[in-house]
Amino acid sequence: MKHSRDAVDNLIDQWKTQRPDLQPDVMGIFGRFGRVWTYATRAVEVTLGRWGLQMGDFDVLATVRRSGPPFIMAPSQLTHWLMLSPSGITSRLDRLEKVGLIERKPSEEDRRSLLIVLTPKGKKVVDEAVAAHVANQNKLLSPPSAGERKNLDQILRTLLATFEKPIES
């Protein structure tokens, strides 16, 4: 299958000219991955912006929402799932609490710690936003065929496994 040239091809050609000792073809994969991620991120931000959410806000709400009823999580669980430091999550929680999408409540087991609770408003917002987000993701991935998407998913799984340990079911 012949592909049309893109901006990444030009970058690779420049490196081949300037540094013929390198094998820059792998740059094509990372360059295209990065460019696709940038365009996809912009589209996701537009979708989530309809609810006044940034991607980081949505990640917090979606993580608490998918935990299931009663939609409560410890901040340490959030930092684990979102791969953030405790200080990295604080500003997100402050912002979400300020607009009434989450509450912080003292833990009954350890009064020194707080739990993150999804408010009814937060549940409504995340349920609406996640439906639009999934529809947007389907639209963004509509050019490749179902088979190509399955192959891409497998390739990304293989690559991700080099960075992460498998999760036990």
Domain boundaries, the chain: 1-49, 52-134
Q: To which residue do tokens 């960075």 refer? A: 163
Please state, in angstroms and rounded to a whole number, the distance separating the CA atoms of residues 29 and 48.
Answer: 28
pLDDT, tens digit, for every residue of 43-98?
999 999 999 999 999 999 999 999 999 999 998 888 888 888 888 888 899 999 99
Quickly state the pLDDT bin for 1 (edges 50, 70, 90): low
Instruction: Give pLDDT, residue 4.
Output: 87
Please state, in angstroms and rounded to a whole number, the distance separating the CA atoms of residues 115 and 76.
Answer: 9
CATH architecture of the domain with range 52-134: Orthogonal Bundle (1.10)
Average pLDDT over every residue of 108-113? 79
Quickly state the pLDDT bin for 100 (edges 50, 70, 90): very high
Q: State if pTM tops 0.75.
A: yes
Two structure tokens written together for 129: 């936003």
Strand-by-strand arrangement of the 72-73 sheet: 72-73, 114-118, 102-106
Instruction: Give pLDDT, residue 107.
Output: 83
Q: Is residue 120 classed as helix, strand or coil in its secondary structure?
A: helix
